[in-house]
Structure 1
Amino acid sequence: MSTPTSPNSPQGLPLLDMEILRTFLAISETGSFSRAAQQIYRTPSAVSMQIKRLEEMLGRALFVREPRQVHLTPEGETMLGYARQLLEINDEAVGQFLSPQVGGTVRLGAPDDLGTRVLPGILSLFSRSYPAVQVNVRVGRSPDLMRRLDIGELDVALLVAEAGNRPHRLAEPVYREPLVWAGREGGIALQRTPLPIAVADRGCPWRRMALESLNRSGHRYRIAYTCEHTAAQEAATGQDIAITPLPRGLVHAPLRVIEEEEAGLSPLGDYEVLMLRMPARGAAVEALAEHIMEHFAGTPNATAAAVV
C-alpha cells in the first residue's frame, strides 16, 4: 500500500496516519508492543506492521527493541512530541463537529480493577469525542456502587459478577472472560500445603468463585493474603507468597496461568462485567454508556453479544 502524500506540498511529503500515531504513542507509554496491542485492541503483529510503516516512511528507527521492553531512540523522542500535538488537534477538531450538542456531567462508578486499569484509557478517548461532557468517577465495591446508583448518587455503574449471576434486573452484560489461577513463574507456592491463596475481601465475586473451586476439588487451603485491590493480590503472587484468581487477560510476567489439570484444581468459570444505568438520564449518560459498550465489544475475549 502506498503512503498518501500531500497534494499541496512541493516535495510531495507523505501524510501521517492518526491511527498509526495512536499506536506509536501507546507503545511509548507502555514500553511494550504487546501491552500497547492490548490497550488499543489490536494484535501484536498489526502493531508491529504499523510501526514498520511509520519507520519506513520517516527513514528513521523510532524504537530500540530489547527482549523485555522497548525504548525510544532520540528520533523517537522527537516524534513523540509531534505525535501528541497532532493527535490532540485531530481529536479536538473532530470532536467539535461530531458531538458539539452533547454536554453535561456523568457520574460513573466502577470497581477497583476496572477503575485503575481499563477506564482511564476509555475515558481519554471519550473526552476527545465528547469534549463538553465531564465524567466524575467513583471507584468502589460493586454492592456500594449499586446502592449509590439506586439513591441517585451515580448515573451509571460498571459491576463485576460471576457469569450468569445478575445482581440487578437492569444490569447489562458488556464483557465476559475466564477467571484463572495465577502463580509466580517458577514459584513453589502451588506446592505448599495448605495451599496459600491471595483474594479480595468478602463480597468479591472472584473470591467466592475461588473458594467454591477449592472446595469442589477438596484442596486444603489458607487465605494468606487478603486485600481490597487486585494490584496487591498480584504483588503477593509475584513474590510467591500465594496463588490468586485473576482474569486470564491480566496474567503477565512474572506471573503465569496455572492450568487446572497440573494442580488438580476445579475450573473457576467465567466472570462478567455488567453495566447498570437508570433509564432517562440524558444524552451524555447514553453517549458514555454506548462508548463503553463499544470498547468492551472490541476487546479480545469479549462475548457481550453472546451472553444471555
Structure 2
Amino acid sequence: MDIDSLRSFLAIVDTGSFTRAAAQIHRTQSAISMQIKKLEEELGSPLFDRDKRPLTVSLAGQRLVSHARRLVASHDEALDAFIREDNTRPIRIGCPDDYAQSLLPELLEAFRQQLGKVTFDVLCASSVRLRQRLDSGDLDLAIVTRAPDSDEGWLLKHDKGVWVCGDDPTLVERRPLPLALFDKSCKFHTTALDGLGKFGIDVDLVAFTTSASTLVGLVRNQQALSAMASGSIPSDLKVLSGANLPPLPAIDIVIVAATHSHPMITPSMISSISHQFTAAQAKIA
C-alpha cells in the first residue's frame, strides 16, 4: 500500500472530511479521492460510507486505521533516522479558552513527561478557528470539541453542558432571561437559544464571546447565566439543577494533530496520552 495514500486516508479519518484533509496535506480533493479509490480497489472494500453525514468510516476502514497508523509511523521514523529535523522549535498547540485552565495544563504535563523540557506556543480560539489553523499548517496540535458520530482525533474526555449562575440562583426567574454565551460556533450557543425558544423563554443576550474569563466574570457579577462544559466551571459558580431550562448536549473533547505535525509528536504518543486521560476519567466515573 502506498504511504501517501495511507497518509491521505488517515487525514480524512482524523478530520472527518475530504475537504479538510485535502487542505491539510496540500492536495486537491480529487487527488485524494483517487488515492482512496485505489486503496479501496486494492483492499476490495469501501473505506467510507459516503452516503452518511457526517462522513463515517466503514468496517473495513476501521480495520485499516490501526495498520495505517503503524505503517505511516514506521515510515516516518525510518526517515527521521536519516534526515535531521528541527526538534528545537516550540510545539504549537491550540485550545478553546474554556479548556485552557481545566484541561490544557494536564495535557501539557503529559506531553512533557514523554518529551522532556519542550516549549509550547499556545493559541486560544474556538474549535472552528483552530481547525482552520491546523489545516493551514499554523498549528501542530489542537484540542477541539468534535461532532457527534465523528472519528476525528483522539479522545481526551467525555463532558456535558450545564447551566451555571453566580451567587443568586433566582436570576433564572428573570424575564427576559439574561444570558452570556460562547460565540456562535460553540455547540452550546445554538442549543441554548433554540431550546429556550422552544420553552417559550424570552432571552436578553448580554454578550457572546470566545473568552471564558469574560463569561465567568459576567456570571460571577450576577449579570447573566451561561451554558458551559461541566469540567470547565470555576468552583465559585453554581450549576443550576432542577431549573426549568432546556437540556444541553454531551460533548467529546479530543486532540487533533496536523498531518505534518511537529517532528517530536507521533501518533503512538498521542494515542498513549489519550488512553491516559480516558482511563483517568473512567476511574472518576
Shorter-chain TM-score tier:
0.5 to 0.7
Using the size of structure 1 for normalisation, the TM-score is: 0.55
* Structure 1 residue 292, shift from structure 2 partner: 4.1
* Change in 2 beyond 3 A, CA 1:290/1:103: farther
Return the offset for 1:200.
1.8
- Classify the secondary structure of the residue corresponding to 1:188: helix
2:243 paired with 1:263: yes
Q: CA deviation at 1:233?
A: 1.0
- Three-state SS of the structure 2 residue aligned to 1:237 is helix
Q: 1:118 maps to what in 2? A: 103
AA aligned opposite 2:230 = R
Give the match for residue 153 of structure 1. Answer: 138
Offset from partner CA, 1:229-282 (integer Å, 9 cap, x none): 1122122112221111122233344321112xx332121121221222244646
Quick one: percent identity of the two aligned structures?
22
Does 2:274 correspond to 1:290?
no
Aligned to 2:175: 193
Alignment partners' CA distance in 1, 2:238 and 2:155: 27
Structure 2 partner of 1:176: 158
Secondary structure at the aligned position of 1:284 is classed as coil
How far apart, in 2, do the equivalents of 1:250 and 1:157 lie?
A: 17
- Output the TM-score relative to the length of structure 2: 0.59
Unaligned runs of 5+ in 1: 1-101, 304-308
Q: Secondary structure at the match of 2:208?
A: strand
**Which residue identity does 1:265 align to in structure 2?**
L
Instruction: Quote the Cα distance in structure 1 between the aligned partners of 2:188 and 2:169.
Output: 22
1:210-247 per-position Cα deviation (integer Å, ceiling 9, x unaligned):
22221232211111233321122122112221111122
TM-aligned CA distance change 1:170 to 1:249, over 3 Å: closer
Looking at structure 1, the residues matched to 145 and 188 of structure 2 have their Cα atoms a distance apart, in angstroms, of 9
Taking the aligned partners of 1:174 and 1:276, their CA distance within structure 2 comes to 10
CA distance in 1, matches of 2:233, 2:137: 36
Name the structure 2 match of 1:51: none
Deviation at 1:127, TM superposition (A): 2.0
Q: Deviations over 1:147-203 (max 9, x none)?
A: 121122222211124x6164xx64343321111101123433111001111112222
Give the one of 212, 215, 236 matched to 1:230.
212
Structure 2, unaligned runs of 5 or more: 1-85
- Is the alpha carbon distance of 1:295 and 1:136 closer, same or farther for their aligned partners in structure 2, counting shifts above 3 Å? farther
1:277 — aligned with what? 257
Instruction: Output the CA distance in 2 between the equivalents of 1:145 and 1:280.
Output: 15
Contact 2:157/2:281 (<8 A) preserved: no
2:148 is matched with 164
Question: Take 1:266 and 1:216, find their aligned partners in 2: how far apart are those partners?
Answer: 8
Larger radius of gyration: 1
Is residue 296–residue 302 contact of structure 1 (8 Å, CA) maintained in 2? no
Partners in 2 of 1:256 and 1:155 — Cα distance? Answer: 35
State how far apart, in whole Å, the 1-side matches of 2:183 and 2:245 are: 22
Can you list the C-alpha shifts for 1:17-76, whole angstroms capped at 9, x where unaligned? Answer: xxxxxxxxxxxxxxxxxxxxxxxxxxxxxxxxxxxxxxxxxxxxxxxxxxxxxxxxxxxx
Residue 126 of structure 1, CA deviation:
2.8
CA contact (8 A) 1:177 1:302 kept: no
Verify the 8 A CA contact 2:180 2:215 in the aligned structure 1.
Answer: yes
**RMSD of aligned C-alpha atoms?**
2.9
Matches within 5 A, 1:43-122: 103-105=87-89, 106-122=91-107
- Count of residue pairs the alignment pairs up: 197
Counterpart check, 1:217 vs 2:217: no
User: Is the 1:155–1:278 contact (alpha carbons within 8 Å) kept by the matching residues of 2?
Assistant: yes
2:204 is aligned with 1:204: no
Distance 1:292 1:210, change over 3 A: farther
Question: In structure 2, what residue type is equivalent to 1:248?
Answer: S
Alpha-carbon contact 1:177-1:301 (below 8 Å) kept: no
Specify the code of the residue in structure 1 equivalent to 2:92.
R
Residues 140, 260 of structure 2: 8 Å contact kept: no
